[in-house]
Amino acid sequence: MPKVTSVIVPYATYLRVYEPLAAFPEPERSQWARYARRTDRPSYQDELRRALADLAPTPPVPVPVHESEDAFVLDVDGVVCVCPWRTRLRGWLALDELSEELPPPVMDAVLPPVLRRQAAQDHERWLAINPDARPWIRTATWQVPISWFVLVSDEEREYDKGASVDSPPVLRYRTPMVQARRRVARGLRALKEAMDEGPLIDGLVDVGRWLEEFHPRSLVELDYGGLVHAVPAGALEDDHSAADVAEGIAALRRGDGAAAGEAYARLVERWRSVRDLRSAN
């Protein structure tokens, strides 16, 4: 296991699904039940540091050789819910997305073709054995996708400004799965009535299909993760992006394009500094 350091990794945000133990078949259910009793469970920063450590060697390791046995755990009204890391599966999926985003010469410089071919072959063999596999975690860098905000409400916002390096700021939303699915359906209806197509519709359709893969008593969590370290404290405390998205969709539902545009403009302005920081990196 790569050595875990105290370095803060600032740019990743997360959408997680926590499923109740009853959703897992045996022997996995018992495995997670034992894991949930541990007191030394690693954090999301540990997870990301380990992934970045794999990219440091020459040649880099784009996808972990073995699947992670770690998970995030929550107690939801007395029910233990688990969100497995599944870093190997997510590594394969991230590699596919990276190939679509970077020009071939840049991609070849970052990860040589031979490594990518080997990873793709490993993924194909794994999928043949695990055809229904899906990740419990989605990750975004230097942003929170607008479609994620549709799943939550401002009333579910949890903000802690933090007290020290060991207790950093936290900004997240948690909502029951049934509520998240309901908001996806309502949001899609409003958007499709207002426009024929667009990236927000595509993103919402995609995340809605993903949510359908999980137990109805799951919990959905939108976590700003390490991005809290890239946003000034005052701006973070005043960040009510979910409220802006909800207001914009409500305006579309009323047929008020001007109000929808104003809500979107507030959202764009709020995230401008983060986009600038991303460009600088």
202-239 pLDDT per residue, tens: 999 999 999 999 999 999 999 999 888 888 778 889 99
pLDDT attached to residue 281 = 54
When pLDDT is cut at 50, 70 and 90, the band that residue 170 belongs to is very high
Task: Tell me how far CA of residue 169 lies from CA of 158, 163, 232, 274, in angstroms.
Answer: 10, 8, 11, 16
Q: Is the pLDDT of residue 4 over 60?
A: no
When pLDDT is cut at 50, 70 and 90, the band that residue 72 belongs to is very high
> CA–CA separation, 103 vs 27, rounded Å?
43
Contact 277, 230 (CB under 8 A): yes
pLDDT attached to residue 135 = 95
Which tops the pLDDT comparison, 51 or 202? 202
Q: Is the pLDDT of residue 93 over 50?
A: yes
Average pLDDT over residues 22-36: 96
Average pLDDT over residues 18-38: 96
pLDDT attached to residue 1 = 37
- Contacts of residues 245-249 at CB distance under 8 Å and 24 or more positions apart, as own/partner, are 245/146, 245/149, 245/150, 246/149, 246/150, 246/153, 246/154, 249/150, 249/186, 249/187, 249/190, 249/191
SS3 label, residue 39: coil
pLDDT digits (tens, 9 = 90+) for 233-259: 788 899 999 999 999 999 999 999 999
Average pLDDT over residues 49-75: 79
Phi-psi group of 137: left, alpha or beta (phi > 0 → left; psi -120 to 50 → alpha; rest → beta)? beta
Q: Is the pLDDT of residue 173 over 60?
A: yes
For the chain, give the number of residues: 281
